[in-house]
Structure formats: structure tokens, C-alpha cells
Amino acid sequence: MLALAVAVAACVAATTGLGGGVIYVPLMLALGRSYREAAQVSLFLALATGVSASAGFAREGQVDWKLVAVLAPLALGAALLSGALASGLPEMPLRLCLAAVVLGGAVAILRRRGGARCAGESAVRCGESPDSFLERLTWHHNVDGSRLRIVLPLVLPLMAGLGAISGALGIAGGSMNVTVLMACCQVPAQRAVATSAVMNLLACLGGFVGSRAAGAVPLQALLLPAAGALLGAQAGTRLALRLPRARLRALVAVALLLIGAWTAYSALTR
């Protein structure tokens, strides 16, 4: 039964690019696990999901490897450190932080209207002088025919902070990665979901290794749910590549709203 529930959760996670953590942690909490145990189980399952989903997206040529190389390393290191330090934190604040992160991601996606605001535009039209300090540190990156403007001094610290949050909360950063890629970097929805899957995989690895350093859950108890996660992720990858962009964006936002609301309710009523 647990393997089936995990398979369904993994399908939703891979379809929306959420990485699984924001689904697996509430699932484990609903089954009566402590937050520390739920976070470690979640990271392991999200790691399995990330391997499967990343392979599927890579085969389809949807992963932006340049974005991964630039944005992922800081998040990986921060997730490793925070995963090791989070075991001593009280449980209720962790639940509320998880709810806030998930709901914030939903709001950020819903507030974005239209396409990439700066795609194909000059630096002056984006509000920056071509000779400004930030403009010299801005990466102009071409994605699917659009020229994206990514201000690295702003985005890189943001990714490091999100990595630290994801490692501590056991959510792998999928929802936050999708939010940053879509709402801050203006990456198209399908490309953002595929690239987020690879970034999730790296964040999971860092968070899982760090969390096990603070106390390990037996690996043999994770193998059957992991098999369900692998199967569900493959189904979700195929579904994500076939959904229209507008529908995929709406699905991500609705999933985040529902999960965030339940997590906040469970934290306040337990």
C-alpha cells in the first residue's frame, strides 16, 4: 500500500517538477513518522524519483545543462550542510516552514503573467543601464529561441538559500527550483520542469548524505517505496512532456496550494 501511494506521489512530482519532497514529507507525516524520519525518507525517495525523471527528460533533450552547471553547485553544498544540522530543530516550526515555502511557491507562479519579461529585450528595457555593475554580472542565456536575462548576484545567493531550506526540510527543492526558473529566470514551463528535475537530484543527494550523518533510517525499509517512486516518476515524465505549458503551470500551482494548506493545517492541529 505504501509503495502504491509513493508511486502516485512520484507521478505527480515528476509531472509538475516538484521533486517529490513536498509530497513525500506530508505523506510520511500523515503515516505518523517524525519530521526527521519523514525528511530522510523523503530525500531518499526523491533521489530515486530524480534519477528516473532526470533520465527521462535528458532522453527527450529537455534539460538545460548550462543552467544546471551554473545554478546547482551552491544549492548542493547548502543542502548538504543544512541536512546535517536540521536534526536538532523542533518539529512544529519545520512543518510551518514547509507550508510557507510551498504556499509561497504557488503564489509566485500564479502572479507571473505572460511570457518571459526580459526575453529578447535589451538591458535598457529591463531597467538596467548597459554599463551598470549588475549588467556586467548578468548572464544572457538563450533558451528555446528566447534570450533570458539572469542576474547572477541575485539568483545565485537565492539558490544557495533555497538549497539550505530544502536540505533542512527534506523537500529536495523541487517546488522552489521550478519557481525560481519560471518566475525569476523566465524559463519556459516544460524546460523549467525538466531542468528542475536534475537540480532536484543533486539537492537530494546533498540533503540525504547530510541527514544520514546526523542519524540514519534503515535503508532496507526504503527499498520497496523507492521501487514505486521509480515507476511513478517514469509515468510522470511522459505526462509532463505532453501537457500544454499553460496547463502545466496551473497544475504546479494547484498542487502547491493543496499541499501547503494541508501541511499548515496539520502543523497547527497536531
Please report the DSSP string for 89-143 in residue order. S-HHHHHHHHHHHHHHHHHHHHH--SS-SSTT--TTTTT--TTSHHHHTEEEEEE
Q: Quote the distance between the C-alpha of residue 179 and its chain's center.
A: 8
Average pLDDT, the chain: 77
Please report the DSSP string for 139-190 in residue order. EEEEETTEEEEEEHHHHHHHHHHHHHHHHHHT-TTHHHHHHIIIIIS---HH
Distance CA 234, CA 256 (A): 21
99-113 average pLDDT score: 75
CA dihedral of residues 78, 84, 88, 94 (deg, nearest 10)? 50
Angle at 50 between CA 47 and CA 51, to 5 degrees: 90
For 45, 57, 226, 229, the CA distances from 221, given in Å and listed in that order, are: 11, 28, 9, 14
Q: What is the pLDDT of residue 69?
A: 92
Q: Tell me the three cell numbers of residue 102.
A: 510551498
Number of domains in the chain: 1
Q: What is the pLDDT of residue 239?
A: 77
Give the amino acid at 113: R
Q: What is the pLDDT of residue 65?
A: 93
pLDDT tens string 64-87: 999 999 988 988 898 888 888 877
- Residues spanned by the domain of 202: 2-269
pLDDT tens string 124-135: 333 444 456 667
Residue with cell 502543523: 267
C-beta of residue 16 within 8 angstroms of C-beta of residue 172: no
Phi, psi of 144 (to 5 degrees): 50, 40
159-164 average pLDDT score: 85
Of the pLDDT bands very low, low, confident and very high (cuts 50, 70, 90), residue 116 is very low
pLDDT tens string 27-78: 788 878 788 888 888 888 877 777 877 888 898 898 999 999 998 898 889 8
Q: 114 versus 85: which is more confidently predicted?
A: 85
pLDDT tens string 169-179: 887 666 677 77
Q: What is the pLDDT of residue 234?
A: 77
Of the pLDDT bands very low, low, confident and very high (cuts 50, 70, 90), residue 18 is low
